[in-house]
Amino acid sequence: MMLCTCTWCTAQAQANAPSALQVGIWASSCMACHGPEGRAEGTGLTIGGKSAEDLFGKLMAYRSGAVKATIMHQHVKGYSEDELRRIATHFSSLK
């Protein structure tokens, strides 16, 4: 990954909200298993286009351990609640 030091990125990093680009980078790590655009056809792992609240709820349940997972509990622990909300919203917007 390239380290970006341009003025725009620096300004984005200083503002509290992560840029759309940043959220897209987080989301790209999910696509290895959930497919491009969050559509892993035929696997039951499609998350693209689903309700953001539903996706967010599932991510938080994995994070708290309320829902047992084989893999996901490890992934979601790397993100804050706010970051998971943004990732959920991102996948939800992929129609």
Q: For residues 69 and 16, what is the distance between their CA atoms, to the nearest angstrom?
A: 31
Among 48, 63, 86, 87, binds ligand HEC (CB under 6 A): 87
- Closest CB to ligand HEC among 11 and 33? 33
Residue 63 contacts ligand HEC per CB under 6 A: no
Considering only residues 67-86, where is the footprint of ligand HEC by CB under 6 A?
A: 69-72, 75
**17-23 long-range contacts, Cβ below 8 Å, gap at least 24?**
18/83, 18/86, 23/86, 23/87, 23/90
Of residues 5 and 95, the one with the C-beta less far from ligand HEC: 95
